[in-house]
Structure 1
Amino acid sequence: MDRRKSLLLVDDEDSTLEMLAANLSAQFDIRLALTGESALAACEEALPDLLILDVDMPGLSGYDACRALKALYPDLPIVFHSAKTSIEERLLGYAAGGDDYLPKPFDPSELSTKIGLQLSRVDRAREMSGQLDEAMNAVMSTADMVGEAGVALSFQRALNNCHSYDAVAEALFESLQAYGYDGCLQLRGRRDTVSRNSKTQCSALELSLLEHVEQATGSERIRSLGPHTGFAYGSVTLFVRDLPMDRSALDAAAADKAGRALDNIALLVEAMTSRLIALDNEMTSQELAEIRQLIQITRRALTDIADSNHRLQTAVRSQFEELQHQFEESFIHLGLTSPQEDHINLLITENRDRLLGVLKEGQANEDFLGRVIRKLGTFI
């Protein structure tokens, strides 16, 4: 049920106030005042929905009272009631801040019409003001969301240029600060573990908080820590300060902001997890490329060694054969007996075969290394 509107009637003549009240009391709650000063006091006590104000009054005139009231209550509708109806008087009323002018003696239907128009105008203004507030709130909320989306997009672009765990951590903390939050982070990759806050390495207390987030029971990846929130996404553990999951104690705007922040930060962590996997894959690919290069170098080295060993064996055999031939030619001049010649030939042959045997052992080692290299090549 709509509340009855209240009117304050101000006039220094009791008879005028009685006639006004008689015409209006059926529709409105009526209060009366005999002077401009008492009208100000009555408004201070309880502001009416509309004020009907006489112009000529002892003490504070109607125009002066209007100026004083409008300075305090600019939205209060004021209808002047006066026998002075010239255009000059109406301009004075307008300059004082009045909203309408009712001549004396009043016509009841005109009185009701003017009051109704002013009250409707105020109601429409209030309704439009509320709609404007809602629209502005929607615009501001949309602007906030657009700005938050921009932070997420910037983070995605920054990740593409991150080629280390520390660079990924730096990009995340920049985005967190853009959202108005801070905390600490641990990244666990294939090569390394990075634990840090926005400025430096994690303190012992921060490490314990991250460990608590990681070891908390339950399948939820986003975990409430009183007024704070933890994110546990496999290789990424994040603790965000002053971001509560329970938003029941917050006002609507703060609760909405916190809810969006939870969603946005979760998206950042998911993107960061994917980037860590990509970094590990890049590192693995780089290591495989280095292994392939090493195998190629080793293969070339083994080929060179085998060629060198083959040339060495040929040279050794040739040198021993030449040595043996020279000794056989010298036997005639040395006057050696047949047993002595046979003994020297045997020594030469044994040493030749022993040296060639050593070289063959090296060849066997080369063959073994070659088989190892070929086997490794099948795994990459």
Structure 2
Amino acid sequence: MDKHRILLVDDSPNELRILMEILKDKYAIVAATSGFQALKMIEDDAQIELVLLDVMMPDLDGYETCEKIHQISPDLPVMFVSGNTQTEEILKGFDVGGLDYLTKPIDAKLVSRKVDVVLDERKKMHELEDENKSSTDMVMSVIASAGHLGTVLGFLRSGLKIKTPEGLVSALFDVFDGLNIDACVQLRLENRVINRSSDMVMTPLEKDLLERASQMTSRFLEKGSRYIVNFENVSVIIKNMPVDDEMARGDLRDNLMMIIEDTNALSMKVGQLGADQGAQFSEVKANLTLRDELLDVVATMKMVENIELEHKQKSLDLLDDMLLELEASFFNMGITQYQEESITQIVQGRAKQINGHIEEALHVEENLAALRERIKVASELLS
């Protein structure tokens, strides 16, 4: 295991040797004899974990050096070493960011124990920061997943309102936008194919890949940032899957499978709905045609009925005129009373028969009129 790296800073070589003897067995020691040299070493060596810093140094004293150290590395702990034990000096050390204050002459056991404590606390702090970062990442991942799940659920709910294939494709790309996904989609219906891309214009290569995807025997294929999903009626190419975050990739993969599987099911519904609408349109068109035909039949029957009534009335009028003319002509025929009565009986008998036939025809006309009304009602129901 690598030793913790400590920087000792003192303008006195003798003081440096004392500290090095105390700490060299447990720690990796580097040393500087001035504040400026210490700053240069900290800039060049990111492995330094602790600085033991003398206060009284020429050019740049310990307090100024500490302030500049924290400009370079804000979290690097600094312990002051000084022969000045006045409270004001100790407080000044804390004011500039010192973590502890060791007084000279050096107590080896005290120095060793305090260094151990500082480095142990630093280790715990880093572990806590890592845990916090991990927890934060997890929380952010959960929040992102919840947001993605909300987008997915919104799409699943909207499926109840989607009526057309175009509406289905638009809803699918709304979800992709919410998930920050660039994609190409092929939706296969009974009588046509819809291709669409997030970039609006689909390249020939993308079209070829979608055609190949539609022939896949497996449900999905992954290659770097590309993710291809294929169902019976829909194929999707995702062009920007995350490659460095496996958790995000897995979460997105699960959501995509739900979305695309639901899209496949909805494609069957909207396709059938379109077919049903076409059938309904054909049925309505046929009904309208039948209605028009029935109305024509009603009109024709009415016309025939009127003509027949007119002819029957004329026949009755002619028959009445014939009887009147026959009676008037008897005076000029020179026939006997018996002959006149016989002829009159024959004519009246035939007239009675004719009237009977006319009555029967009128009864038939009543039935035709009733039929005409029924046809008229049927045509109105088809409207």
The one-letter amino acid of 1:76's match is: L
**CA deviation profile, 1:70-128 (whole Å, cap 9, x unmatched):** 21122222211111111110111112221111111122222122212211121111111
Q: SS state of the match for residue 159, structure 2?
A: helix
Question: Which is higher, the Rg of structure 1 or of structure 2?
Answer: 2
What amino acid is aligned across from residue 60 of structure 1 in structure 2? L
Counterparts in 2 of 1:75-224, with a 5 A limit?
A: 75-190=75-190, 192-198=192-198, 206-214=206-214, 216-218=215-217, 220-224=218-222
* 2:228 is aligned with 1:230: yes
Percent identical residues: 25
- Distance in 1 (CA, whole Å) between partners of 2:202 and 2:69 is 62
Q: Which protein, 1 or 2, shows the higher relative CO under an 8 Å CA cutoff with sep ≥ 6?
A: 2
Distance 2:23 2:209 in 1: 70
Distance 1:90 1:322, change over 3 A: same
Q: 1:228·1:239 contact (CA, 8 Å) conserved in 2?
A: yes
- Give unpaired runs (5+ residues) of structure 1: 334-355, 357-362, 371-380
The structural deviation recorded for 1:272 is 1.7
Give the counterpart of 2:261 among 267, 270, 292. 270
TM-score w.r.t. length of structure 2: 0.71
Q: Return the letter of the residue paired with 1:181.
A: I
Q: 1:83 to 1:177 in 2, by over 3 A?
A: same
Aligned-residue offset at 1:225 = 6.6
Distance 1:151 1:32 in 2: 58
**What does 1:1-380 correspond to in 2, within 5 Å?**
2-46=1-45, 47-190=47-190, 192-198=192-198, 206-214=206-214, 216-218=215-217, 220-224=218-222, 227-243=225-241, 250-251=243-244, 253=245, 255-283=246-274, 284=276, 287-288=279-280, 291=283, 298=290, 305=297, 312=304, 319=311
1:170 and 1:198 in contact (8 A); partners too: no
Q: Which moved more, 1:264-273 or 1:42-51?
A: 42-51
Question: TM-score, normalising length from structure 1?
Answer: 0.72
Counterpart code for 1:184: C
> How far apart are the structure 2 equivalents of 1:108 and 1:211?
77
* Change over 3 Å in CA distance of 1:17–1:171 after alignment to 2: same
Letter in 2 for 1:119: L
- 1:152–1:268 CA contact under 8 A, matched in 2: yes
Q: For the residues of structure 1 that align with 2:108 and 2:17, how far apart are their CA atoms?
A: 13
| Offset of residue 270 of structure 1 | 1.6
CA drift at 1:260: 2.6
* C-alpha distance in 2 between matches for 1:192 and 1:324: 70
Compared with structure 1, are the counterparts of its residues 87 and 209 closer, same or farther at alpha carbon in structure 2 (3 Å cutoff)? Answer: same
Give the secondary-structure state (helix, strand or coil) at the position aligned to 1:127: helix
Write the distance in 1 (CA, Å) between the matches of 2:224 and 2:109. 65
**RMSD of equivalent CA atoms:** 4.2
